[in-house]
């Protein structure tokens, strides 16, 4: 088991009275309730991905109603990934506060399920926290490299989508080579050696879109 900990925070700072905090798996099954002291919480969880529901008590609930963290329903709630001991603050919205918009230009170039398929035709697994962490890292890295490039939809750049899968697979396999080299066989049966930087292999492809004059 790992420990998830952090604070319940609001736009004005820590949630003063704290609140009961409950965790569910992505299938909707109740997992358990956190220990909450003031605004700080701790929860023992198996590595995986979860949703959280907070229930502020009266009179705090007049300002901060019961709510799913990061969403207006369980289906849209924020994915809380636990991979080893994890520290993460959870944001509690006040009455009428809109949900935060995704960062400008943020695009999901690769998903956790696509990474799993790329490294060995593995079936989808919503509990694979490592695949989700790899997808988040690759997506953030590509967004950073393509900063300033106008992209209306991910389908506009099929080469980048392919590159994202390649980088995601490299990132995923790094877990097997913390101190050395490793490799994997892709969907076409080709042997791939994992680089130290999981974005290294796709640098030339990204440069075609990020650097003017390169085709």
Residue ranges of the alpha helices (H) in the chain? Answer: 112-120, 129-145, 158-173, 203-210
pLDDT (0 to 100) of residue 92: 94
190 lies in some domain = yes
> According to the model, what pLDDT value does residue 178 have?
55
- pLDDT of the residue at 144: 82
* 117 and 204 housed in the same domain: yes
Identify whether 203 is part of a domain. yes
Task: Quote the pLDDT of residue 214.
Answer: 44
Residue 145: predicted pLDDT: 84
Is 106 contained in some domain?
Answer: no
Q: Between the CA atoms of 72, 75, 81 and 87, what dihedral angle is there, to the nearest 10 degrees?
A: 20
Residue span of the structural domain in which 140 resides: 112-210
In the chain, the number of structural domains is 2
The answer to whether the pTM exceeds 0.75 is: no
Burial of 95 (0-12, 13-18, 19+ CB in 10 A): exposed
Tell me whether residue 99 is in a domain.
Answer: no
Task: Report d(CA 54, CA 31) in Å as an integer.
Answer: 14
**pLDDT for the residue 190:** 56
What pLDDT does 191 receive?
52
Whole-number Å distance between alpha carbons of 11 and 96: 13
- d(CA 20, CA 43) in angstroms, rounded, equals 12
Q: Both 206 and 163 in a single domain? A: yes
pLDDT for 188 equals 55
Low-confidence ranges of the chain (pLDDT < 70): 100-106, 152-153, 177-196, 211-215
- The predicted pLDDT at position 35 comes to 92
């Amino acid at each position: 088991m790992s420990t998830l900990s952090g604070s319940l925070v609001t736009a004005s700072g820590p949630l003063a009275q704290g609140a009961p905090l409950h965790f569910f798996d992505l299938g909707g099954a109740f997992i358990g309730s956190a220990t909450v002291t003031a605004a700080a919480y701790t929860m023992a969880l198996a590595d995986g991905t979860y949703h959280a529901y907070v229930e502020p008590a009266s009179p705090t609930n007049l300002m901060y109603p019961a709510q799913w963290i990061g969403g207006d329903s369980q289906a849209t709630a924020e994915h809380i990934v636990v991979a080893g001991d994890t520290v993460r603050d959870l944001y509690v919205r006040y009455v009428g506060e809109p949900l935060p918009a995704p960062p400008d230009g943020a695009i999901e170039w690769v998903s956790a399920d696509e990474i799993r398929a790329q490294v060995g035709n593995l079936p989808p697994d919503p509990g694979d926290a490592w695949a989700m962490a790899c997808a988040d890292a690759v997506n953030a890295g590509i967004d950073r490299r393509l900063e300033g490039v106008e992209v209306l939809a991910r389908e506009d750049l099929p080469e980048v989508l392919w590159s994202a899968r390649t980088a995601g697979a490299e990132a995923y396999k790094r877990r097997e080579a913390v101190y050395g080299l490793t490799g994997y066989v892709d969907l076409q049966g080709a042997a791939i050696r994992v680089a130290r930087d999981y974005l290294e292999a796709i640098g030339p492809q990204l440069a075609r879109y990020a650097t003017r004059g390169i085709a």
